[in-house]
Structure 1
Amino acid sequence: MTSAPARRTVVATAKALLAAHKGLLAMDESTKTCNKRFAALGIPQTSEARRAWRELIVTTPGLADSISGAILFDETIHQQLKDGRPFARALADADIIVGIKVDTGAQALAGHPGETVTEGLDQLGDRLVNYAALGARFAKWRGVIAIGDGLPTNASISANAHALARYAGLCQELGLVPIVEPEVLMTGDHTLLRCAEVTERVLHAVFEQLYVQGVQLEGLLLKPNMALPGLACAEQNTVDEVADATVMCLLRTVPAAVPGIAFLSGGQTGVQASNRLNAMNQRFKKRMPWALTFSFSRAIQYPALDIWHGDSGKAQQAQHALQHRAACNRAARGGEYSAAMEPTA
C-alpha cells in the first residue's frame, strides 16, 4: 500500500500539473519516432540533432506561461543544454514539472493478430527510482488499442488495462504521478460512434483495474484519445459533435475523484486539437467534475519543427510558433480559444 507521504506527494503534484489552466507538452518521442519525423524533413537523424531540437523546445521563452509539465524520453532526461545544464534542471528552473515516459513500447499480443500490449514492467521500480533522482516527478505509460474487423478483443483491452494499473501503482508507491494513457488509435475507417463505443469499453476496463490495484485516483491524470472518426472514414464530424461524443463518453466512465484529463492529440492538426478541446470546455464547463486539459505532442511541436528544419538560424521563429500553439491550447482549456488567435485569421 502506498505510504501517506507518497499519497500526499502525488496529489500535490497532480494539482500542480493542472494549475492556472496550463497543460502538458509531450516531448517523449522514442529515438525511432523522432528520427522518422526528422527524415521526412531532411533533418540529420543524429543524437546531436535530437538534442538541439529538444533544447529549442526547453528554452522557448514564455513556454511556462502555458505548460505546467513536460514529458521526456530516456535519451532526453540524460542530455544537457549547451550551457551544461541537464534538460530536467532547465525545465525545473523554468517552473515546468519534469515527467518521463517509462514504457518500453507496444509488442505483438500473442494469439491476437493486429493487437499489441505495452511492455516495460520488468525492473520498472528501479527505473522509476533512477528517474526520480534525475528530477522526474511524474511518469507516462501508453497502451495502444486498434479498431478493426473484430478488434479490439477483450484480451487486448484487458492486457493493456492491467499493465497500466500495475504501472500506476508502482509510480504512486514511489511518489510519482502516473499519467495513464489508453489510446484508441485514429487509424482506420471507423465512425465517431464506433470510436466512442470502444473508448468507453477501454476506460471501464482501465478504471476497474486501477481499483483492483489500489491506485489512488486523486493522484493520477488520465490521458485518453478524443472520440474521433478514423482518418479514412468518409464522414468527418463537426467540432461540436466530437466534443459532445467525447465528454459524454468520459462522463460515463471517469470517476469524479480523478483531478484531470489531459487529451493526447493523435493524428490531429494543431488547430483541430485546439478547436475540439475548446468546444468541450465551452459546452460542458458546468457539468465536468474534472479539469479537461491537453498533453499534446505533434499538435504543439509540428508547426515549429516544420519551420526549424534543423537550421539554427530559424530557432527563434520556431520557438515563437511553439509558444503560440501552447498558448492557443491554454486558451482552449478555458474555453477562450478562437480562430482569431491564429496568424492566418
Structure 2
Amino acid sequence: MRNFDNIGRLKVFIKNPQKKGFFKMFKECCKLLIIKKEIPFYYFKYLYCKGVTNYLDYLSTKEVVAIGNSKILHKPEYKDLLENKLLFTLFSEKCSINTPRLISYNLGNTFSFGNKSEIISSRKALITFFESVFASTKIDAIFFRPPSEYGGKGCFKLSKNNLVAEIEAIYESLIRGCFVHTEVVKQHESINAIYDKSLNTIRVISLITPENTIEIICAFMRFGVGESVVDNASSGGFYVGIDLDRGTLNTSGHYMLEYGGGNVYEHPNSGYKFEGFKIPYFKEACKEVKKTVKIIPDRFIGWDVAITPNGPTIVEANSGPHIFLSDYAYGGLLKNQHIKNLIKELKTVN
C-alpha cells in the first residue's frame, strides 16, 4: 500500500486528463498548507481534479486521523465489538439487532453449529458437516466472512447444489482460517437490476453529537463489478454518493486510486445509470442505524446496510470507516455543520 501511495498515486495523477492547471494546483496547495498546517498530500488523491472547486471543504489527513484515533469518539470496548464480525453477530442476535442470521462458524478446524462443535479433519467430514447444516436450516447458500478482515477480503459463498466441488476448492483455506457463516441476504430486485452478483450495501456514517443527538452524516452505496461477490471499493468495486434528503444516488461514482481513481456514471456490467436512482427503504435504513446506535453508542461508526425486499438489514459495523471515501462521496464533509463542530471539539480536547 505504501508503494502505491507514493508511486501509484503519482502515475494516476500524471495520466489523469481532468487535472487542474499547474498554477491553480500550486496556489490551492499553498492555501491548504497555510490553513491546515500540513503538507497536503491528500490533495493528490482527488482534489486536483477540475470538477472539485470546493477543495477547502474536504478533510485533511490530520483531521481524518484525529477522528479515527479520538478516545472521546471511540471506546475500546465498543471498538472490539464492532471490529470482530463474530462478536458483532453474536451480540446482534442477543440484542435483537436486525442482521443476517448466523448459521455456523469455525475457529480453525473447530466448526460450531447450534449447540455443538466438532473438529474437522477431512474433506469428507466437512462435506458431511455442511450437508447437515443445509438440511437443518433449509437454506440454499451460506456466506463466509473472516472475523477481522476488511474490504471484503477472504469472503466467499458455499452453495448447497455445488457443495462437493466448492468444498474441494476452499477446504485448506477454510480449516486454516476463522470464518463467520451467515445466511445469504436476498437483495431488493431494483438493486439487482444494477448489479446482482454481490450484495451492494449502503455505508452510513453515524455521529453522536456533544448534545447526545444521533445524526446521519453521510451515506454512499458500494457496487461490485465483473463477477465479484463483494461490493467493496478496496476490492475493485466503486462507490456512489447518496442524497440524504431524497435517498437517491448521485450522478457519478468513483473508483479508489488503486483501481484507477476514475469516475463512473453507469454500472460497467449492466449499463444502469445511477443518476436519480431512488434507493428502496432508504429512510428506514437510516432509522435502523439510529436505533442500533442506541444499543452500541460509539460516537462515530460506519454501518454497512443491505436492502432486502422487506427492508434494511445491518450487515456489519466499523469503528474505523474509510473517512476519505465518505469525504469524496459527500463532496466535502466540512460542508456538514456537525463535522465542522466535531473538528473544533477534537482540537479543543487535544
Q: Which is richer in helix?
A: 1
TM-score, reference length from structure 2: 0.25
Q: Which is richer in strand?
A: 2
Larger radius of gyration: 2
TM-score, reference length from structure 1: 0.25
